[in-house]
Chains A and B, each alone.
Chain A
Amino acid sequence: MAAYPIRPYDGVMQAAAKLIANGKMDVEYIVADGEHSQFEIVKHACAVGSRVFVGSSGVGWFYAFEAIAVTAGLRLPVVAICGNRALDDPGAFGTEHNDSLAVRDLGWLLPWAETAQEAMDLALMAWRVGEDKRVSLPVAIGLDGAFLTHSQQIVKIPTQAAVNTFLPPFDLGDRLLHPDNPITIAPQVDQDWLMEIRMQNDQAMRKAEGVIREAHADFKKLFGRGGDSPFLDEYMTDDAEVVFFGQGTLALPMKVAIRRLRKEGHKVGLVRLKWFRPFATDEIVKCLSRFKAVGVIDRDYSFGSPYYGGVLYNEVRSALYSQPKRPVVVGFIAGLGGREIEQPMAQEIFEKTKAAASGDLKAGDTCHWIGVRS
C-alpha cells in the first residue's frame, strides 16, 4: 500500500494507517514522495506477486499519470481509488469526474460508488475482477470527493472467511517476476508488436464484462448485496417515461427529486451507471430504449466535444446511435467542483428532459449547464 497526501481521497489512507498502527492490518505501508512514486511503487510490488492498493485525487492523479498509463499496459491488476476532485487551477476540493475519466481510454476498469457500502463492496469486486486471469487489468474505483469520501455512513464489513471465499489468492502465474521465472517484462516492441499487444488489452476489456457479471453473482450469493445488475442501478423506472442517467452520489439528490415529482404524478426514474469501463453497451442500450427521454447528468466536462456535451452524454449518444428505437438524449452539466445539486436544479433538469420527450425542446444536440450564475 502506498500513500501520499491529497484531499479528499487521503482520508482512506489515514484510516488504513490507523489500522496498521493498531495491528489490525498487516501490509507494507509506504509513504511515497509523490503520486508518481506512489503508483510506481505499487506497480512494481504487484509485478512480484503482491496484492496492492493505492489512490489519489484530482491533480495528484494527474501527477501519477505516467505510472497509471503503464500499469494498464503491463496488465498489472493494481487497485486504486480516485477520490474524484476538480482539477486545479483554480483550486477546488469538490467532486468532478474528470480525474478518473482521463484514464478511460487506457485500459483501467472504472466503477463508481454511490455509498460507502458500495465503495467497500467494489473494492472486493475490483481485486476479484482485476486479478482474474481473463482480465488482468487495473481498477480505479471512483468515489465522489467530499460527498462520499467525507461523509460518515454505517458499513457492513464482511468476515475474513467470507472474503476468502469470494477472493482467491492473487496469482500472476507465468508472469511473476522472480529469479525462478526469469522473464523480461516490457521490452521495446515498436511497430512490430504493439498492435497485437493493444488488441490483447482490448480482448481483456471485452472479457471483463462477463467476469464482472460472474463476480457480481457470487458476491450477491455470499453477501446478499449488489442489486440485480452489476452495471446499472434502476430507481422507480418500471413505468417511467423520463429518466435521469448519471453516476456516483448525484443519485441521492435525484432520488429525492424523483419522489417529489412522483407525488406530482410524473413518470420519472433514475438509472445509475455503476461501471463506466467496461461500458456495458448492450445492457445500457436495452435499458435506456425503454424510455422516451434520458437526461444524462455529467459531473464532468469535455470542452469542444460533440455538441459541447459531457463525457457520459457523448458515450450514451454514441451507444444509442445504431438503435432503431432510441430515446431522446439531453445533456446536463451539473454539480462541478462539488457544487450541490439542489432541488431547483433537479427540477430544471426534469423540465428540460420532459420537454424533450414531448418534442417541445430540440434536445438531442444541445447540452445544458445547470445552476450556473450569470
Chain B
Amino acid sequence: MNPGSRETPSPLIYLNNAATSWPKPPGVLEEVARCLQLPLCETGRTAGTGSVDYPTAAREALAAFFHAGPHQNFIFTQNATDSLNLLVHGFTKKAGAPFHTITTELEHNSVLRPLHALEQDGAIRLSVVPFRDNVVGLAEIKRAICPETRLVIMTHGSNVLGSVQDIRPIAEYLKANDIFLIVDGAQTSGHIPVDLSDIPVGAFVFTGHKALFGIPGTGGFFLPDPEAIAITRQGGTGTDSRALIHSCEMPERFEAGTQNYPGIASLRAGIGFIVSTGLDEIERKNRDLTRFFIRELKNVPGVTIYNDDPGLPVVSFNIAGIDNHDAGFILARAYNVITRTGLHCAPLVHERIDGGKGCIRASFSYFTTRDECRAAADAIREVAGSADSQVRPD
C-alpha cells in the first residue's frame, strides 16, 4: 500500500447549514459574478460611476429585513466573530474602567474568547449564567446583575441546541437599567423573523454565510447608538482623507479599508431571495424538516437527541457506543451525509449536555429536502444499529 490523493464522492446530503449554508440560491452566485464583471462602485475611491453601490444597497436591504434604521447603522464586517470582537473591545475601551459583564453557557467561542481575554487582562469581571430547559431567560440574567454590570452578551439562537432566546423582555429590562445588550444573531438571522424596531438591543450581530445565504466573509452588526462603542480599527474610508483621525461618521466609523464587494453583493442577493420566497415559508419548511428528522430518530435505540423541540433547524445528537467524530466520519464517507461533529465552538453547552465530549449536529436549510432528511435518518439508524464496537487493545 502506498499513499496518493483522493477523489471527492458526490452527490452530497449536506446537513451542515448551521456552519455555512449550501447550496446558495442561484441568484446569489449570479450577483457575485455580476458584481465582478464591472469595475466596483467604490464611493470615494473611484472617479467612475455606473456600477451598483452594493454596500448602500445591502445596508438598505438589511434595514428593511430587520425593520431597523437608519441603514447607515448597519456595519459590515467579515463575519459574526469579527463583529463581536469589534463590539466587545469597543465597548470595553469606551468604558475606560473595569466593569461587570454577563454572558451565558449557550455562547459560541466568538463571545467567550474575547470576554475571557478581557477578563484575563483585568478589564472586565465575567459571570456566565446557566441555561435551563435549553434557554436562558430574564430571570437568570437578573440574578447575575450587580451594580457594576454594564454589559450583557447573549446568543439569540444556540448553535448546538437550536433553542431561541426570548430576547425582547431581556432587552427591555436591560435598557431600563442602562445595561448594554449585544445579541449574537448568527444562527437566527434568516431563519426566523427579527424585528429590531420592537427589541431595544444595544447591538445586534449577524453573519452572512449561514441562513442569509451570502458567501463566507460577510457579516455585520446593527448599532442604534454609535457612540456606545469606541473605534478600535482605523484606516482609509475614502472620505475626509486630509484628517489623520478616523471618521466618526456612520458607517465609516467602524469600516476601514476596501469592502468585500462580492460578499456584500451576495448578502444583498441572499436577503432578496429570502424576501421573495417569504421568511414565513422558509421558517415553515425548516420547521417541518426538523420535526420530520426528529420523529425519524427519536425512537432509534442508542440515539440521544439533546433538544427535541428546537426553534431552529438544528438537531444535535449522539449515538451510544460511537465517538461523535467517528460517527460523523462514517456518515460522510459511507453515506455522503455531511454533518458537523465535536464541540461546535460552544464548549460550555457541551459540558452540560454530553460531559464535554461533543456530539453530531445536523442542520437544515430551505434547500434541504425531506428525502435527504429521510436518507440521513436511515444512515444514522444503520450506524446506530452497528454500534456494538469491537475493540482490539494493543
Q: Are A and B genuine complex partners?
A: no
